Structure 1
Amino acid sequence: MTYHVCFVCTGNICRSPMAESVFRARTVEAGLADLVEVDSAGTDGWHEGDGADPRTVSVLEDHGYGTEHTARRFDRSWFDRLDLVIALDTGHLASLRRLAPTARDAEKVRLLRSYDPAAGSDLDVPDPYYGGLDGFEECLEMVEAASDGLLAAVREQVEGRAV
């Protein structure tokens, strides 16, 4: 049975597609690509149908990650098929939990940086959209740092299902 993870930011053109690309690469490296489906969406639909921000694409390519992406808006009906919804900041976390049809669905929503033990108390991945390329690099560093912990948690769930 496939485990479904969806990363969510505001417009689905910067942070969440970056997290999707990084985490997909992590699942491939871990041999879990056939067991874990990774995608992303935005809390808003402003950029629906657009590709990722060119700065996101540039940073991902510079670090060897895939960049194929089409922005879309998160739909509350997806909670039925998703195992984990990863919010990129506390605003997204709150929005997604309000959108969740049930308390059980709300529990599926987690902050990405909560999987990074070095993150401290600031668990937001800042939105790089209004800044320069350095903000996108910083975003990638945060995403990569949290992805190992997230992968460990997902691996535990996937292996638990196989038992």
Structure 2
Amino acid sequence: MTYRVCFVCTGNICRSPMAESVFRARAAEAELTDLVEVDSAGTGSWHEGEGADPRAVAVLEEHGYDIDHTARRFDPSWFSRLDLVIALDSGHLKALRRMAPTEEDARKVRLLRSYDPGAGDDLDVPDPYYGGLDGFAECLERVEAASTGLLAAVREHLEGRAA
């Protein structure tokens, strides 16, 4: 049975495609590609149909990640097929929980940095869109740090399903 994860930010051109790329690579390294499906979307439709921000692509490629991305908006109907909806900041968390059709669906929404034990109380991944390349590098660092814990949680869930 496939475990489905969708990363969500604002426009689906910076943070969520970066998280999608990193987590897809982590799942592949863990040999979970056949068991974990990774996707991303945005809470808004401003960039639908566009590729990822060139700065996000540059930072990802510089760090050895692949990206093939077309932005799209998160649709509440997706909750029924998703196991986990990962918000990149508290604004996305609130928006996604509001659009969740059921309480069970709302419980599927988590902040990415809640999986990073080093995050402390700072659970948002700042939006790098209005800054320079250094903001995208910082975003990648935060995404990578949280992806380790997220992968452990997904693996634990998969092992629980198999038991």
Please report the TM-score for the alignment, with normalisation by the length of structure 2.
0.99
1:13-68 residue CA offsets vs partner (Å, 9 max, x unmatched): 00000000000000000010100000000000110010000000000000000111
What root-mean-square deviation, in Å, do the aligned CA atoms of Structure 1 and Structure 2 show?
0.4
Q: Secondary structure at the match of 2:136?
A: helix
Identity of aligned residues (%): 81
Q: Which runs of 5+ in 1 are unaligned?
A: none
- TM-score for both structures, normalised by structure 1: 0.99
Task: Give the Å deviation of 1:7.
Answer: 0.1
In the alignment, what sits opposite 1:148? 148
Once the 2 structures are TM-superposed, how far is the Cα of residue 79 of structure 1 from its aligned partner? Answer: 0.2
Deviation at 1:158, TM superposition (A): 1.0
Cα separation, 1, equivalents of 2:6 and 2:145: 18
CA distance in 1, matches of 2:162, 2:72: 31
1:70-93 Cα deviation digits (max 9, x unpaired)? 000000000000000000000000
Q: Which residue does the alignment assign to 1:107? A: 107
After superposition, give the CA deviation of every residue in 1:73-115 in whole Å (9 maximum; x if it has no partner). 0000000000000000000000000000000000000000000
Question: 3-state DSSP class of the match of 1:96?
Answer: helix
The 5 A counterparts of 1:112-131 are 112-131=112-131
Aligned residues: 163
Which consecutive unaligned segments of at least 5 residues does structure 2 have?
none
Query: Which SS does the other structure have where 1:77 is aligned?
Result: helix
Moved over 3 A (4+): none
Aligned to 2:44: 44
